[in-house]
Structure 1
């Protein structure tokens, strides 16, 4: 088995969500060995999505446990996998 890098787009509930607090909660939720980085992506009308890059094993389940953990955080409206690439 090999590792894959995945980018998850996390949409906050509203533009009023404290992104620094949300980033801290995400950092506490995702294992530090998996989390590579969190980047802001302005969407419009003050809404900013978070693009979270993770590296996980490409075995069964893949990104699903992390997607579910993020979806259960308050202030997160949705989690979507936008890119997955196999690492060599």
Structure 2
């Protein structure tokens, strides 16, 4: 089917979450990550933005969100964009 590029916004549970440790946990548990950066949101809270490549399977978005929901320190995961690679 091909591959897709997924851009995700990961929201930590609180401003007290160690973002460096959270990024390390994410890299250890999720494959296909191409880029990861911290983006300030406001009021001391920051999000982690992730660009990753994955297979274009049915339900891929749900599978990705499920992977991140199992990592401690993550409140929610939002898929900001999903684009097919040509």
1:16 corresponds in structure 2 to 16
1:62 corresponds in structure 2 to 60
1 CA distance for matches of 2:29 and 2:64?
9
2 CA distance for matches of 1:67 and 1:36?
17
1:85 corresponds in structure 2 to 83
Give the superposed CA RMSD: 1.0
1:21 CA displacement: 0.3
